[in-house]
Structure 1
Amino acid sequence: MANLTGLFQRGSIYYVRIVLPREHQLRSSYKNGCYVATLGTCTYREALLKGTIKRAEILGYSTIGATNTPLQESLRSLTLSQIFIRWQRASPRSRDSLNACKRSLRFYEEFTKNPPINELSREQGDGFRAWLQAPDRNTTSKTARDRLVWIKSLIKYAQVDLGLLQRHPWEGIDIKTTTTHKRRPWDTSELQTLFGQALHTSYSFPRDWRAGADASYWIPLLGLFMGARLGELSQLRVIDICTEAHIPVISITDECDFQKVKTPSSIRKIPIHSELIRLGFLDYVSDLKTDKKELLWSDLSIRKDKPGGYFSNWFGEYRKSIGLSKYPDFHCFRHTVRSQLAEADVSEAMIDSILGHQIKGSAGAKIYSHKTVAMLSKAIETLSYSGLPLQRIYRGRI
């Protein structure tokens, strides 16, 4: 990593000493000709970034009429790893996004040796693309493309937000992806295997803490009869199960700090299928109200920034343990529901409303009227799995 003129430490804190030009307007305030400022950090990499910016701010005062100002020259010499520090502070980022970007940045640094941003070339971008896809890396095309996209995003931030580049040197450099495993609906035999285990025949919970006790029984059923995303189901509260115009619904919302939705169109109300009611779901909710529980799954740990993360990890391992391969996975319940609804001649707009996709030609409805709820309920009731005889086994919370 490059050095910064005037960077030094007092104790563990970094400072920067800037020698002021003779014509600088701050010269009258600093008789010795030196401006010293604390950078408020004990981390060398962060000190480099803050110190570079501070030098640019101070020396930029004396640049009137200059073709290339010290501000421009100083910031253009930033490396992408320094720009990453500014990028992560520019707006809220999820932990998963930060970690993914950091991993991609390590690959970038390994290949390019982390040059100043103004020295990035198109040839480097093409080489990095080829390097990411090298056979010895044993990486899927999607993973390689994701890593390239993260780096291109940082470069774009430097170009658009910071104004450090006149053009994006890697614009148009991309990786075509191929689908290794295409998601598909669950078939009848797979559903019979999944719901034929002790978990769904005797309400016998797994010992794994990630399964969330009652959640392990109900969440797969909700996915099958509602098509909701795993994260949406994992973060539900008891009050999210309510009634509209005498129709029981589940409200998908982001009202609480721990609740996340994928898009604004994801905020919706989904009528509860009669089969879920027959199996005792509303009785389960009633028991929670009696126990004065706030969360629908009191034993389920919610992962920060990814509510269904822990449950997803458990479900993947559980699925493999009972002889089901990588696909279909939990997300394939959404494909199952969409396929069933389409076969029942439910309109695309109605399917999108149920699944939380943006309705084509509009922003999508967030709050449904009485009539719309009734229509959604009628559509939901077309879901039927004749080869899956489910027995009611819920007799109260364990």
Structure 2
Amino acid sequence: MVDIYKLLKDAENAVQLTIGEVRLPNGTHLTNVRIDTPEDERQFRDLMSAATPSSPAQTVRATSSVERKMHHRDDFFGHQMEVHLADLERGGRDKKTLMESRHTLTLFRGIVGNKVVSELNADHCRTFFDAVVHWPRHATKRQEFAGLGIRETIAKAKAMGEPPPAAATLEKHRQRLSTFINWARRNKLIADNPLHGLVRQKKDVTQDDTGRPFTQDELNAVFEPNAFSAWSKGSAHRYWVPILALYSGARVTELSQLYVADIEVVQGVPGFHINKRFPGQKLKNAGSRRFVPLAQPVLDCGFLAFVEGLKAKGQMRLFPDLPNNDGLGFGRQMSKQFGAYIKKRGITEEGMGMHAFRHTLATRLVAAKVSKDVIARITGHMREGDVLTRYYIDEPTLIERAEAVAKFIPLVTLTSFIAERSL
């Protein structure tokens, strides 16, 4: 027989409940059941109540007992986490922020337990930080961690000697937890901030690097005419996004979300707007808003003719085949497709992808004696005292930026878009 009320209590209070295999009194057979969230708890309680072989009176008493046990559930971390995330969504935070916040807070609950929020203290935070350094990368996608709870996953990863997350990742965990705690204080759920007494992790400057530029051999491999044409044939985004990234240093999301109306000629300089004017567009930060001149090799490949063709068809987006189904940005599919392509071209180093084009452009422009201020205006990096939040086209420096782009010479061979489509 199954102690149903013990299971219900475990579902309410446990860090994480995993049922390997059990047959309930009514014959229901359960295997590999995991309870991580308040919604899991609700569904589990309903299942248990339905499986209880009792008279109507006993069922009422059982339900009443469960409700009494759950009476103070609103005070617990699991419930308030959901309220906090709902507030973030209501406040207009994008889906990526919500997903990452949920990840951090779920790990916290799994490591520390479903505590009453008002009782959280510095030791709970220390326990979290000491454990989360062992959380393995891509844990939910790896077979060796399948079916394991959060604590079990951490213990196994620790035993396996998994490398720790980057310092930036740990800092993001702290920031998301801090956001929740500050929210809880504003809502009078907790009196003091338990993070205030903790010493912040020392910044490791060796981990600040977000990647490296492509080498010349790698660029040649990516844009080798036969391979690149075969991979991009029939796909406008596969052809144009890598070329635009190479000659502009723009982020993959920025390019993937472009609309036809973003392509414009300003003061005789053709270029594209990185902005948040149309549905689905987003900006990484205020300094990201800018007008990027188009390099001559991009024009020579027929880019403006491609844009005019879309206008003639009444197409709104530049790359309509790139979806944003999960709300995390139009660039996710492009990143995956490009990542798979360069691996086949022999570029297998961890972390290499579209972002390497930003490093490539910036590194070579520095070598060409272009000022860092001008480079930042092209790539959209934040600058001290940035005025581009209001004047993002910045016409007085437009010609200077166009001249800077012209100094970027990647030494690759490109076929025109029309020629590529006809192969």
Alpha-carbon deviation of 1:93? 2.5
Structure 1 match to 2:363: 339
Within 5 Å, give how 1:98-113 maps onto structure 2.
98-113=98-113
1:267 and 2:272 correspond:
no
Q: Which residue in 1 is equivalent to 2:188?
A: 163
Alignment of 1:154 with 2:180, yes or no, is yes
Q: Name the structure 1 match of 2:149.
A: none
Moved more, 216-225 or 308-317: 308-317
Is 2:103 the counterpart of 1:80? no
1:9-20 aligned at under 5 Å gives the runs none
User: C-alpha deviations, 1:304-325, integer Å up to 9, x for none?
Assistant: 2322111112221222122112
Q: In the TM superposition, what are the counterparts of 1:355-370 in structure 2 within 5 Å?
A: 355-364=379-388, 366-370=391-395
Q: Which residue of 2 aligns with 1:63?
A: none
Indicate the residue corresponding to 1:216 in structure 2.
Answer: 238
The aligned length equals: 325
CA distance in 2, matches of 1:347, 1:181: 20
- Distance in structure 2 (CA, Å) of the matches to 1:274 and 1:197: 19
**Counterpart AA for 2:243:** L
Question: Which of 207, 227, 236 is 1:179 aligned to?
Answer: 207
Distance 2:40 2:230 in 1: 52
1:195 deviates by: 0.7
**What secondary structure, in the 3-state scheme, does the structure 1 residue paired with 2:265 have?**
strand
Report the TM-score when normalising by structure 1.
Answer: 0.73
Query: Which of structures 1 and 2 has the bigger CA Rg?
Result: 1
Task: Give the Cα–Cα distance (whole angstroms) in 2 for the partners of residues 119 and 83 of structure 1.
Answer: 13
Return the offset for 1:234.
0.2
Change (3 A) 1:97 1:188: same
Q: Distance in 2 between matches of 1:370 and 1:144?
A: 40
Change (3 A) 1:305 1:328: closer
Which residue does the alignment assign to 2:272? 250
User: Which residue of structure 1 aligns with residue 31 of structure 2?
Assistant: none
Distance 1:121-1:327 versus aligned 2 partners, 3 A rule = closer
Gaps of 5+ in 1: 3-41, 46-73, 207-211
Task: Name which of structure 1's ranges 95-104 and 245-254 shifts more when overlaid on structure 2.
Answer: 95-104
Output the TM-score relative to the length of structure 2.
0.69
8 Å contact 2:225–2:415 — kept in the other structure? no
Q: Which residue of 2 aligns with 1:205?
A: 232
Whichever residue aligns with residue 307 of structure 2, its letter is V
List per-residue Cα deviations over 1:333-363 (Å, max 9, x = no partner).
1111111221222222211111112332233
Flag structure 2 segments of 5+ consecutive residues without an equivalent: 1-11, 14-38, 43-70, 135-157
1:75-154 pair list within 5 angstroms: 78-90=75-87, 91-134=91-134, 135-136=158-159, 138=162, 140-142=164-166, 143-154=169-180
What SS does the corresponding residue of 1:141 show, helix, strand or coil?
coil
Question: Is the 8 Å Cα contact of residues 251 and 358 (structure 2) preserved in structure 1?
Answer: yes
Asked whether the equivalents of residues 249 and 269 of structure 1 are also in contact (C-alpha less than 8 Å), the reply is yes
| 2:77 alignment partner AA | L
Tell me the equivalent position of 2:354: 330
Shift of 1:254: 0.6
3-state SS of paired residue (1:256): coil
Any idea what the Cα deviations from partners look like across 1:17-46, whole Å, max 9, x if unmatched? xxxxxxxxxxxxxxxxxxxxxxxxx9977x
**2:252 aligned with 1:230:** yes
Report the alpha carbon displacement of residue 175 of structure 1 after superposing the two structures with TM.
Answer: 4.5
Do 2:120 and 2:194's aligned partners in 1 also have CA atoms closer than 8 Å? yes
Q: 1:340 to 1:75 in 2, by over 3 A?
A: farther
Could you tell me whether the CA contact under 8 Å between 1:121 and 1:169 is conserved in 2? yes
Query: What letter corresponds to residue 249 of structure 2 in structure 1?
Result: G
Runs of 4+ with >6 A deviation: 42-45, 74-77
Give the aligned partner of residue 29 of structure 1.
Answer: none
CA contact (8 A) 2:239 2:417 kept: no
1:39 corresponding residue in structure 2? none
Percent identical pairs in the alignment equals 25
> Which residue of the partner structure matches residue 24 of structure 2?
none
